[in-house]
């Protein structure tokens, strides 16, 4: 990583005839590159006092639109004082704004004939049962073998606005299996995106966690943001983004519990972070679980499966709900846990 350098926004003065849409007159200096990200940094001076974060960034970076700045903030790539922020956050003199801007990637995604389990498709959407181990879209370190590569081979006409993540409405972690919906064109992408933002999609998961709950139903309401010391992890932090997970115990299995979890919000790693925060880590989770788990039952990944997905279809306006059973590896583990619980 290159030597870190900071820009003092005192040099970023507004031009004398400042207008609402005029850019901050400053020169950006890259702090370096790290895992496909260009790191940029600003210190807020009096010219930025009281300004919304998304507007401040858009004015400071000539090549960045306000909508793109807002998306980077939502995705956790723009931090204020090393903490997650909201696009509407008002800045104060001395605030440190860090922008982790994804480096340009090749615009051509190579279609790959990778088998897909298509649960439903029409002219607007595709519902996929994603296999565990498959990365959703190309990223540094994963330029091929992704769901997007497979989709473009099967649906060559679905590239949306030249995006590196064509049609991807929501994501599943690499080692999480189950249902996802993909848009086939821009109008469907916008329609589904609006449902996602309005929290009108129904997304339910099956998972096994270590331990039991006093109440068989509950809500985990705890804000999530980037872990202060480990960049690849998320954590429950005071100034994180609002996150709510509803859960219901389906079965107690010895020292474990089989749950249904329903997402009210969709933060990165939300289910895994929330249950680890409650000291009930997801079985097999190598990132958020214990270093030495009580048992693995031969599981090679976290026991987390997106088994139910509901949304309104773009063309008909009809609500559709899809369900999918546990994949074989998780079904085998459930039986092993049940057998172990009976022996006890």
- Residue 186 annotated to the active site: no
In this structure, are residues 136 and 172 in contact, taking their beta carbons and an 8 Å threshold? Answer: yes
Looking at 95, 124, 173, 175, which residue is catalytic? 173
Q: At what angle do helices 53-60 and 66-74 cross, to 10 degrees?
A: 120
Give strand pairing partners of 228. Answer: none
Nearest one of 324, 319, 36 to 176, comparing CA atoms = 324
User: Which token pair is 292?
Assistant: 């030495």
Residue 147 Ramachandran class (φ > 0 left, ψ -120 to 50 alpha, else beta):
alpha
User: Which token pair is 62?
Assistant: 């000539």
Q: For the chain, give the longest Cα–Cα distance.
A: 79
Query: How many residues does this entry show for the chain?
Result: 344
Give strand pairing partners of 128. Answer: 118, 180
For 12, 77, 158, 183, the CA distances from 126, given in Å and listed in that order, are 47, 29, 11, 6
Q: Report the catalytic residues.
A: 173
């Amino acid at each position: 990583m290159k030597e870190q350098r900071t820009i003092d926004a005192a040099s970023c003065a507004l031009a004398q005839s400042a207008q609402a849409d005029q850019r901050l007159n400053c020169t950006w200096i890259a702090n370096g590159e790290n895992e496909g990200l260009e790191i940029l940094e600003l210190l807020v001076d009096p010219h930025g006092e009281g300004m919304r974060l998304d507007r401040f960034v858009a004015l400071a970076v000539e090549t960045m639109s306000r909508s793109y700045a807002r998306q980077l903030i939502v995705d956790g790539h723009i931090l204020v004082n090393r903490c997650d922020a909201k696009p509407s956050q008002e800045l104060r003199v001395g605030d440190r704004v860090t922008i982790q801007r994804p480096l340009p990637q090749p615009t051509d995604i190579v279609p790959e004939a990778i088998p897909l389990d298509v649960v439903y498709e029409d002219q607007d959407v595709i519902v996929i049962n994603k296999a565990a181990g498959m990365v959703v879209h190309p990223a540094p370190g994963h330029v091929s073998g992704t769901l997007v590569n497979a989709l473009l081979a099967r649906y060559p006409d679905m590239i949306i606005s030249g995006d590196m993540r064509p049609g991807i409405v929501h994501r599943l972690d690499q080692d999480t299996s189950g249902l996802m919906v993909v848009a086939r064109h821009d109008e469907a992408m916008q329609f589904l995106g609006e449902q996602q933002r309005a929290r009108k999609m129904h997304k339910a998961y099956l998972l096994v966690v270590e331990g039991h709950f006093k109440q068989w139903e509950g809500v985990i309401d705890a804000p999530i943001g980037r872990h202060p010391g480990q960049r690849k992890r998320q954590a429950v932090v005071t100034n994180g983004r609002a996150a709510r997970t509803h859960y219901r115990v389906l079965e107690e299995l010895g020292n474990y519990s089989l749950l249904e979890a329903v997402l009210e919000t969709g933060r990165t790693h939300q289910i895994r972070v929330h249950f680890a925060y409650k000291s009930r880590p997801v079985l097999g989770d190598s990132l958020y679980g214990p270093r030495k788990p009580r048992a693995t039952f031969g599981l090679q990944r976290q026991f987390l499966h997106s088994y139910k997905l509901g949304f309104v279809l773009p063309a008909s306006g009809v609500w559709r709900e899809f369900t999918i059973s546990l994949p074989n590896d998780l079904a085998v583990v459930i039986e092993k846990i049940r057998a172990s619980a009976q022996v006890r």
